[in-house]
Amino acid sequence: MTARLYDISRTLFPGMAVWPGDAPFELRPTGSLAEGDSANVTALSLSAHTGTHVDAPYHFAAGGQTLEQIDLAVYWGPAQVVSVGKTSGSLTAADFAGYGLGRAPRLLVRSGASLSDPRTFQPDYVYPSPELADHLGGLGVVLYGTDAPSVDDAGSESLPGHHALQRNGIFILEGLDLTGVPDGLYELVALPLRIRGGDGSPVRAVLRTHENPA
């Protein structure tokens, strides 16, 4: 069986939902073949945390790593997709009982957020508790991915989930679209742009199934 690719990135488009207060996504033409220019060219304007994106530690921690300082190996390699029954609130290790976490060093959590309206920000979603972050750190997890827009409650200012994941050496990937992806093991590629001093970056996130020998 040949490998299959799943595009787990959200589509970027004008009018899409963004985090409240963030810059909207804009796509502005600056050159047009129809108007006699030599090429079609557009200018992009967006928050670094638009759509499917990574958070660099600098996003929430003074002195934290910026994008270009992070080892790309974090965002490329074996990953485990797990569905949770909750649609909102804090996740604990008990919510993953029976899933056999730790089968891969990258955990991608699917909840109802994958099915949310892409034009409307949904403030109710699941996020990891500090206790879960500690548990995952003990399992050797290096990346926590989620279909939710954040790893903290929408009203949080202290961001305990972000800090607990960082304390355990776990990087953050948010805003995935895991619609139609079965639970299981995959290869993940979700590389951020190489932005000097960057606190985050949109990514094109892809899962590849493992090839089975004939």
Separation between Cα atoms, residue 10 and residue 96, nearest integer Å: 25
* Lookup result for tokens 């060219």: 41
Separation between Cα atoms, residue 35 and residue 1, nearest integer Å: 48
Mind telling me the catalytic residues?
A: 59
CA-nearest of 91, 94, 97 to 144 is 91
> What confidence score (pLDDT) does residue 211 get?
66
Report CA-CA distances (Å) from 129 to 31, 137, 153, 177.
Answer: 47, 12, 10, 21
Structure tokens at 140: 């050797």
> What confidence score (pLDDT) does residue 214 get?
45
Cα distance between the two ends of the chain: 7
Report CA-CA distances (Å) from 101 to 23, 57, 107.
Answer: 36, 24, 8
Structure tokens at 206: 């892809």
> What confidence score (pLDDT) does residue 98 get?
87
Separation between Cα atoms, residue 83 and residue 59, nearest integer Å: 27
Q: Is 202 helix (H, G, I), strand (E, B) or coil?
A: strand
pLDDT tens across the length of the chain (214 residues): 689 999 999 999 999 999 999 999 999 999 999 999 999 999 999 999 999 999 999 999 999 999 999 999 999 999 999 999 899 999 999 999 989 999 999 999 999 888 889 999 999 999 999 999 999 999 999 999 999 999 999 999 999 999 999 999 999 999 999 999 999 999 999 999 999 999 999 999 999 997 654 4
Q: What is the DSSP string of 50-112?
A: -SSEEE-GGGTSTTPPPGGGS-GGGGEEEEEEEE-S-SSEEE-GGGGTTS-TTSSSEEEEE-G
Q: Which amino acid is at 155?
A: G
